[in-house]
Amino acid sequence: MRTRTAAGAVMAAAFAAVLAAAPGASAEPNPPGCPKGYFCAYSGPDQTGTLLLRVAGNWSGSLGVGSIFNNGVVYPGADHVDVTSYLGGQPSTDCFHYNPGPGRYKANAEPGLTITRVVWRGEC
């Protein structure tokens, strides 16, 4: 379930350039510095550049990112993440599955996007 303001729907496009639907049966390799069980954020697109954030629990702050990756593991009630972000002052909260999906588990961010909160949760 997603929560967002009407203006935030436009901002969802910031993560709508979401990269991939997950491959069928096998997980994508771990991105650099992001072992299984972690949510990670990078300075560049496609999990490149500097690893800016690696958390196995909830997080809050303010961090400009280039891409994100949920490398969580199957854990009922806490294997998906809600990511709250801002672009142009508009908030959006989007849910990301764990690698390999089904569903999105990684995304590239639009320039200027800031994440402010990561909360582990159950199914999206």
Full residue range of the structural domain in which residue 114 is found: 3-121
Extract the tokens encoding 46: 């496609």
Beta bridge partner(s), residue 25: none
Each residue of 77-102: pLDDT tens digit? Answer: 999 999 999 999 999 999 999 999 88
Q: Chain-wide mean pLDDT for the chain?
A: 85
**What's the CATH code of the domain at 60?**
2.60.20
User: E strand or H helix at 12, and its extent?
Assistant: helix 6-16
The pLDDT value recorded for residue 80 is 96
Specify the number of domains making up the chain: 1
Q: Which of 111, 75, 117 is nearest to 94 (CA)?
A: 117
The pLDDT value recorded for residue 26 is 79
CA distance 93 to 86: 9
Locate tokens 């991939």: which residue?
Answer: 20
| Cis peptide preceding 102, ω within 30 of 0 | yes
CA distance 67 to 65: 6
Indicate whether 52 pLDDT > 60. Answer: yes
Does this model's pTM top 0.75? My answer is: yes
